[in-house]
Amino acid sequence: MISRTHIHVEADSAGHWRLADHGSRNGIFIDGERRESAVINDGMTVKLGNAADGVEVKFAFAATGDRDDATENIAANHHPIGGDQDLGQDDASTTDPSIKAAGAAVRARREELNITQRGWAAAGIINASALIAFEKGRSWPRTSTQEKLEDELRWPRGTISQIRASYWANSDPNEVTTALTDTSGESVLVQAIVTGVNTIEQGIQSLPAPQHPDFSARTASLTASVRQLEALAAKAALEPQATPTTAVTLAKIRRLSSQLVMLAAQSPNATLGQRLHAARRRAELNEAEIAAAAQVSTATIEAIEAGETVSAEAASKVAALIALLDQP
């Protein structure tokens, strides 16, 4: 039998990783001997609760610069094969509610995309133990790991940190130690969308001049993020739990999308799709109407705006129509 918080791992003043018994009833054992503390060595095996058949934990050091933080590479090897796992109830003394809010958002989105802990571990994104600790509010992944999670979840970079920051911004100062236990997946998802919108707004404000060589690439990246958020918000707006805030957020995302299209079209390196989208917005024409005017299919218009390759004939027809629409 092991305690809820059985061992504590930290770096000592000499720069070594050290483990210590966290006041457990049944102790920790190394090579059959009960120990109060020990310096962690690469390949070390520790048994929790019993020297003979206690829970076995193996430690391995990751090379500098590896995917996950050092604390994310210390994992127990006794988890059953299968889907998601749970390491037991939360200990309020070791749970950070702001991390738990961010972790809950990640879990809600992960489950929506049918991504398992085991799948991420196999792909080298984050191991199961580290993910469980994060989703339960017990540990905070480093920036490089957050970025990998955000890419997997199709979120803009910085979303996870903003969810954590927004928790404190929206919390009662007298209740900051209260665990986040009553937040539904839907409300957390909307919170993630809102923080994603904030990230995109900051990205738009920091764009260089349209003539800058990086302008087109940066607007394209922001546009892709806006499309992902719009898809999420559109789905959330139709859910039974949807609130007016969801609709307001969706409207804001669509305004940002329009703003980005207009900005992208100002670049001398603007693509045909960017110029088409801007011309169509200015003319207040939908895809079907612009397709009829250019004598191409609606699918062709959608493909051009998505940055896909179309026939030279179709591209020529669309370019001619854009020139006509742009006339004063």
Residue-wise pLDDT for 93-105, tens only, equals 457 777 887 888 8
Amino acid identity of residue 66, one-letter, is D
- pLDDT band at residue 88 using 50, 70 and 90 as cut-offs: very low
In sequence order, what are the beta bridge partners of 38?
Answer: 19
> Within 10 A of 191 (CB to CB), how many other CB atoms are there?
24
CA distances from 98 to 11, 162, 184, 245, 324 (A): 24, 10, 15, 21, 53
H helical segments located in 206-243: 215-237
* Measured torsion, CA atoms of residues 103, 106, 112, 116, in degrees rounded to the nearest 10: -80
> Within 10 A of 231 (CB to CB), how many other CB atoms are there?
12
pLDDT in tens, 170-209: 444 333 333 333 344 445 667 777 777 888 888 898 899 9
pLDDT at 188: 61
Q: Pairing between strand 37-39 and 74-76?
A: unpaired
Q: Where are the beta strands (DSSP E) in the chain?
A: 7-11, 17-21, 28-30, 33-35, 37-39, 45-48, 55-59, 74-76
Q: Taking residues 109-128, report their average pLDDT.
A: 86
CA distances from 163 to 116, 133, 169, 228 (A): 21, 17, 10, 17
CATH fold of 92-175, please?
A: 434 Repressor (Amino-terminal Domain) (1.10.260)
Instruction: Choose the CATH number for 272-325 among 1.10.3470, 1.10.260, 1.20.1410, 3.30.43.
Output: 1.10.260
pLDDT at 296: 95
- Residue 57, classed as helix, strand or coil, is strand
Backbone phi, then psi, for 130, in 5-degree steps?
-65, -40
| Residues 245, 256: Cα–Cα separation, whole Å | 16
pLDDT at 14: 61
Inter-residue contact 235 to 194 (CB < 8 Å): no
pLDDT of 73 above 50: no
- Residue 33, classed as helix, strand or coil, is strand
Instruction: Choose the CATH number for 7-61 among 2.60.200.20, 3.40.630.10, 2.170.150.70, 3.30.420.40.
Output: 2.60.200.20
pLDDT at 189: 66
pLDDT at 219: 86
pLDDT of 143 above 70: yes
Q: Which residue has the tokens 């949807």?
A: 242
pLDDT in tens, 251-279: 999 999 889 989 989 998 888 998 999 99
pLDDT of 74 above 50: no
pLDDT in tens, 205-228: 889 999 998 898 888 878 877 887
| Residues 65, 170: Cα–Cα separation, whole Å | 35
CA distances from 107 to 139, 149, 166, 226, 235 (A): 14, 11, 17, 21, 17
> Which tokens go with 201?
């707004």
> Same CATH fold, 272-325 and 7-61?
no
pLDDT at 172: 43
Name which of 80-94, 108-122, 179-193, 217-231 the model is least confident about.
80-94
Q: Going by C-beta distance under 8 Å and a sequence separation of 6 or more, which residues neighbour residue 224?
A: none
Angle made by CA atoms 153, 159, 160, in degrees to the nearest 5: 80
| Residues 317, 294: Cα–Cα separation, whole Å | 6
pLDDT in tens, 238-257: 877 778 888 888 899 999 98
Q: Going by C-beta distance under 8 Å and a sequence separation of 6 or more, which residues neighbour residue 5?
A: 22, 91, 93, 94
Q: Does the reported pTM lie above 0.75?
A: no
pLDDT at 21: 80
> Which tokens go with 232?
């999420």
* Mean pLDDT across the chain: 78
Burial of 303 (0-12, 13-18, 19+ CB in 10 A): middle
Domain ranges of the chain: 7-61, 92-175, 185-265, 272-325
pLDDT of 289 above 90: yes
Q: Which residue has the tokens 């960017």?
A: 274
pLDDT at 279: 92
pLDDT at 173: 36
Percent of the chain with pLDDT over 70: 79
In the DSSP assignment, the letter for residue 66 is -
| Residues 212, 241: Cα–Cα separation, whole Å | 44
Inter-residue contact 215 to 232 (CB < 8 Å): no
